[in-house]
């Protein structure tokens, strides 16, 4: 598979809320092509998954 195909497969996983599948596909795309748009997609997904707002959890 090409980097573009892995990127698109990662997007499909992300739309289905399969976060691990999306990350795995993005990482494969980045491994093949370090300039892939998967770099930005993975960073956005990491930001979403690492989000923590203490006031949201302690009303």
Q: With bands split at pLDDT 50, 70 and 90, how would you rate the model's confidence at 56? A: confident
Structure tokens at 32: 């093949």
Q: Are 4 and 38 in contact (CB under 8 A)?
A: no
* Structure confidence by residue, pLDDT tens digits, 14-42: 999 999 999 999 999 999 999 999 999 99
Q: Give pTM, 2 decimals.
A: 0.84
* Buried/exposed code over 4-29 (b: 16+ C-beta within 10 A; e: otherwise): eebbbbbbebbeeeeeeebbebbebb
Rounded distance between C-alpha atoms, residue 58 and residue 55, angstroms? 5
Within 10 Å of residue 32's Cβ, how many Cβ atoms?
16
């Amino acid at each position: 598979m090409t980097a573009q195909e892995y990127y698109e497969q990662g997007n499909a996983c992300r739309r289905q809320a399969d976060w691990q599948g999306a990350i795995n596909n993005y990482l494969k795309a980045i491994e093949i092509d370090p300039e892939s748009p998967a770099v930005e997609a993975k960073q956005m997904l990491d930001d979403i998954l690492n989000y923590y707002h203490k006031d949201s959890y302690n009303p």
